Chains A and B, each alone.
Chain A
Amino acid sequence: MAITVNRKELTFWEKLYLPAIVGGLKVTMRHAFNTLIRRKVVTMEYPEQKWTLPTGYRGAPYLVKDQDGDTKCVSCQLCEFVCPPKAIRITPPGGTGLKADRPNAEKMPAEFEINMLRCIFCGFCQEVCPEEAIFLQKDYSLTALSRGEMIYNKEKLLTLGGVSPGIQKWKHKLEEAEAQESFPVKI
């Protein structure tokens, strides 16, 4: 059964628009007073003030170094293959190429490029990386004067990425190997 809702007729006083006008004046006055005198501004003046980002924020992906200052990336190219917008391009060292910074690690990329114009900050690269060498960090404001500058190379990515200490898998492997030199194995 349909329910009929009584629509109230406007009273004469309301039809004069006056209460509404006074109400409007009051509201706008209050807001203007709050912004002007009490400085309650809801906006943020961006380049000077910046918001604090929550943990887990997905900004630009950068390469990280371990606590010894060595490149963590081993050029396995998993991130390159998983990257949905194909923003990552890794040039492996090749047969006669660059040795890794770290002893016992097999290789490191000769070049590692992320095109930040293509990157969608999905975080797949971070997720897939077996070496914990790439992390989405808290940079969101990436600017440059040309498209070329927006392709970040290895050096730039490593500088921006900083150090991420963790379990040094390869160092551990090295120690293991060294231990095996002398029998019986101590570890």
Chain B
Amino acid sequence: MDWNFIIFSIVKIAIVVGVVQGMVAYSVLAERKISAWIQDRVGPNRAAPPFVKYIPVLGPFLTRLGIFQPLADGLKFMFKEDFTPAGVKKIYFFLAPAIAVIPAMLTVAVIPFGSMMGQQKMVIADLNVGILYTFGIVSMGVYGIVLAGYAANSKYPFFGGIRSSAQMISYEISMGMSVIPVLLIVGNLNLSQIINWQSGHGWLVMYAPLSFVIFMVASFAETNRTPFDLPEAETELVGGYHTEYSSMKFALFFLAEYSNMVASSAMMVTLFFGGWTLPFWGLDQPAHSLGMGLANILVFLVKMLFFMVLFIWVRWMFPRFRYDQLMDLGWRRFLPLALVNILITAVWLWARS
């Protein structure tokens, strides 16, 4: 038993989970703020613990930014009544939120969020089959939603569940196909190796732009975000799959959605935008000092935040796709496109060698 490995892994897991949870909480705030700005509003700017108003300038400023709003939201979720409707299938009803959250949290395990800190690689599990693991885990997330829809024993959640599964089938394939060119170019499934390749050759988005576009659209569908938020279409399905949920169980679905967003952003950054590398200031090599290690992590976080903002921004920009349009886009547009993309990349690589 390597105690060193165990202890450092536990520390890394704790930090990563903490950071992801924090990002989830604050991306909810960002969602509300950005939506407000786009809709000519101000957004949450009142919630504050009582002592804050005694801090001279900073207190009111932070309150206006809504920094304390996630705390209030979390507290609210904790203290709400956890209501179990009469007709639900109890076991599945309790199981569904957990099944939704766990895959969402597990995805970040293989993502290298930094280079080195001392002797430690900044990745929880440096798997050789990183991408395959991610796809395996991500597609499990849909079970939570389907199960929630089934367990609620009510029309609208059921519709949500069905839509979710149909949507997942039509996008999972194009998503998987879209990554294959990346694997062809790099010749490795390990995410750390993919980043290393990118630090040598430049970001993969320049080699496989079409892959990136398909991957991005597919990950919007994967995370149930607008324009593909069919499973929870508030205007059509009351609340979609989580209609019958309340309190912490509902919060878990929320957590799952936003963790999925975090994971997808991280995946996009890792696969197409060079992960923790930047092509200048020596940030493209694994760090030798703690400071550089931190800088690498920071670079990764900033890139990720960009995609988080994009996720949020897009939500307030597009109307929802219709069910059949979604199928059309998934099966008849993106799947052939991804296949052609693979072909082109393969031919290009073959011609070059």
| Residue of A with least CB distance to B316 | A28
| Residue of A with least CB distance to B313 | A28
Q: Could you say which of B39-47, B50-58, B135-143, B201-209 contacts chain A?
A: B39-47
Query: Contact: B42 with A36, CB < 8 Å?
Result: no
User: When chains A and B are docked, how far (Å) is the Cα of A120 from the Cα of B78?
Assistant: 39
Query: Contact: A36 with B40, CB < 8 Å?
Result: no
**How many residue pairs at the A-B interface have CB separations less than 8 Å?**
36
Query: Contact: B317 with A35, CB < 8 Å?
Result: no
For B316, what are the chain A residues with a Cβ–Cβ distance below 8 Å?
A: 28
Query: Contact: A25 with B42, CB < 8 Å?
Result: no
- Is B350's beta carbon under 8 Å from chain A? no
- Is A146's beta carbon under 8 Å from chain B? no
Proximity bits, A10-51, B CB within 8 Å = 1, else 0 = 000000000001001101100110111000111101000000
DSSP majority for the B interface? loop
- Is B177's beta carbon under 8 Å from chain A? no
Query: Contact: B40 with A31, CB < 8 Å?
Result: yes
Most chain B C-beta atoms within 10 Å of own C-beta, residue among A25, A31, A32, A42: A32
Proximity bits, B89-133, A CB within 8 Å = 1, else 0 = 000000000000000000000000000000000000000000000
CB distance from A150 to the nearest CB of B (A): 26
Query: Contact: B40 with A41, CB < 8 Å?
Result: yes
Query: Contact: B41 with A32, CB < 8 Å?
Result: no
For B40, what are the chain A residues with a Cβ–Cβ distance below 8 Å?
A: 31, 34-35, 40-43
**Which among A21, A27, A31, A41 is the interface contact of B42 at CB below 8 angstroms?**
A41
Query: Contact: B42 with A32, CB < 8 Å?
Result: no
CB distance from A36 to the nearest CB of B (A): 6
Query: Contact: B318 with A35, CB < 8 Å?
Result: no
- Is B38's beta carbon under 8 Å from chain A? yes
CB distance from A23 to the nearest CB of B (A): 9
Query: Contact: A32 with B34, CB < 8 Å?
Result: yes
How many residues does chain A have at the interface if contact means C-beta atoms less than 8 Å apart?
15
CB distance from A180 to the nearest CB of B (A): 66
Query: Contact: B317 with A24, CB < 8 Å?
Result: yes
CB distance from A141 to the nearest CB of B (A): 17
Query: Contact: A31 with B318, CB < 8 Å?
Result: no
CB distance from A30 to the nearest CB of B (A): 9
User: When chains A and B are docked, how far (Å) is the Cα of A36 from the Cα of B45?
Assistant: 14
Query: Contact: B317 with A25, CB < 8 Å?
Result: yes
User: When chains A and B are docked, how far (Å) is the Cα of A127 from the Cα of B81?
Assistant: 49
User: When chains A and B are docked, how far (Å) is the Cα of A35 from the Cα of B35?
Assistant: 11
User: When chains A and B are docked, how far (Å) is the Cα of A40 from the Cα of B38?
Assistant: 11
B15-48 contacts to A, CB under 8 A, are 34, 36-42, 45
User: When chains A and B are docked, how far (Å) is the Cα of A35 from the Cα of B317?
Assistant: 16
CB distance from A16 to the nearest CB of B (A): 10
Proximity bits, B249-285, A CB within 8 Å = 1, else 0 = 0000000000000000000000000000000000000
Query: Contact: A45 with B42, CB < 8 Å?
Result: yes
CB distance from B153 to the nearest CB of A (A): 37
Query: Contact: B317 with A32, CB < 8 Å?
Result: no
Known: A31-B37, A32-B37, A36-B37. Contact between A43 and B42, CB under 8 A?
yes
User: When chains A and B are docked, how far (Å) is the Cα of A34 from the Cα of B42?
Assistant: 12
CB distance from B221 to the nearest CB of A (A): 14
Known: A24-B318, A28-B317. Contact between A42 and B41, CB under 8 A?
yes
CB distance from B336 to the nearest CB of A (A): 15
User: When chains A and B are docked, how far (Å) is the Cα of A25 from the Cα of B41?
Assistant: 18
B311-330 contacts to A, CB under 8 A, are 313, 316-318
User: When chains A and B are docked, how far (Å) is the Cα of A34 from the Cα of B41?
Assistant: 10
User: When chains A and B are docked, how far (Å) is the Cα of A42 from the Cα of B36?
Assistant: 11
User: When chains A and B are docked, how far (Å) is the Cα of A41 from the Cα of B36?
Assistant: 10
User: When chains A and B are docked, how far (Å) is the Cα of A49 from the Cα of B36?
Assistant: 19
CB distance from B306 to the nearest CB of A (A): 14
User: When chains A and B are docked, how far (Å) is the Cα of A32 from the Cα of B39?
Assistant: 7
| Residue of B with least CB distance to A45 | B42
B179-205 contacts to A, CB under 8 A, are none
User: When chains A and B are docked, how far (Å) is the Cα of A32 from the Cα of B34?
Assistant: 8
User: When chains A and B are docked, how far (Å) is the Cα of A34 from the Cα of B37?
Assistant: 8
CB distance from B218 to the nearest CB of A (A): 15
CB distance from B286 to the nearest CB of A (A): 36
| Residue of B with least CB distance to A27 | B317
CB distance from B63 to the nearest CB of A (A): 12
CB distance from A2 to the nearest CB of B (A): 28
User: When chains A and B are docked, how far (Å) is the Cα of A31 from the Cα of B45?
Assistant: 19
Listed by A's residue number, 8 A-B pairs whose Cβ atoms lie within 8 Å are: A25-B317, A31-B38, A34-B40, A36-B37, A41-B41, A42-B40, A43-B40, A43-B41
Q: Beyond A35-B36, A36-B37, A41-B40: 18 further Cβ-contacts under 8 Å?
A: A21-B318, A24-B317, A24-B318, A25-B317, A27-B317, A28-B316, A31-B38, A31-B40, A32-B37, A32-B38, A34-B40, A35-B37, A35-B38, A35-B41, A35-B42, A40-B40, A41-B42, A43-B41
Which 7 A-B residue pairings sit nearest by Cβ, starting from the closest?
Answer: A24-B317, A32-B37, A42-B40, A35-B37, A28-B38, A28-B317, A43-B41
